Structure 1
Amino acid sequence: MDYIEEERLARAGEVTPEAIHHRLVAVRKMTCMTSKELAASAGIKYTTYISQEKAGAPSVKLMTYYLKAFMVDYNFILGGDAGRLPGDVRQAILGHLA
């Protein structure tokens, strides 16, 4: 997969709630955890997690969890900048965006 295809899949530069939702779902799938497991691991209520993912509006707490636990940078979640992700993480997430 080339750089242009990666940017297209990640919706690079798109900061709409829909684009952020799209990336949040891919990150969750990359973790191989259910929504309930992920919420518990991140220390937030399941209903809060679901509403943040659906609205494309993650909290700082959720994004910090993704950064510390999975090395998923805020810049990817909010703006689709996959270039800041470690190679294995980038490929795993992009696989869920394809």
Structure 2
Amino acid sequence: MDYLEIEKRCRRGDTSPEAIHKRLIAARMMSSFSQKELAASAGIKYTTFRSQEQAGAPSVQLMTYFLSAFQVDFNFILGGDPARLPSDVLQEILKHLD
């Protein structure tokens, strides 16, 4: 898969709530955590996490958690930029993006 195809799958530049929602789901699925497990690990109430994921509106706390725990950068979550993701993380996330 070339870089342009990767950017297209990541929806680079798409900051819509729908695109952020899809990237959040892909990042969570890459982690192999359920919503409840990830929320607990991030120190966020499950209902808050679920709401943030569904709305495509992650909090700074949630994005900081993804960065520190899984090396998923803010730029990927909010704007679909795959450039700062480690290659192994990117390959796992791509498996979960449609």
TM-score range, shorter chain: over 0.9
Q: Does residue 54 of the first structure (1) align with residue 49 of the second (2)?
A: no
Deviations 1:38-76 (A, max 9, x none): 000000000000000000000000000000000000000
**Distance in 2, Cα, partners of 1:63 & 1:80:** 13
Letter in 1 for 2:73: D
Aligned-pair identity (%)? 66
SS at match of 1:19: helix
**Could you list the runs of 5+ residues in structure 2 that have no partner in the other structure?**
none
Q: Does residue 86 of the first structure (1) align with residue 89 of the second (2)?
A: no
Aligned to 2:16: 16
Letter in 2 for 1:41: S
**Could you list the runs of 5+ residues in structure 1 that have no partner in the other structure?**
none
Q: CA deviation at 1:89?
A: 0.2
Bigger fraction of residues in helix? 1
Aligned residues: 98
Aligned to 1:42: 42
Runs of 4+ in 1 over 3 A off after TM superposition: none
SS at match of 2:95: helix
Letter in 2 for 1:78: L
**Distance in 2, Cα, partners of 1:31 & 1:92:** 9
**Distance in 1, Cα, partners of 2:68 & 2:44:** 15
TM-score under structure 1 length normalisation: 0.98
Aligned to 1:65: 65
TM-score under structure 2 length normalisation: 0.98
SS at match of 2:38: helix
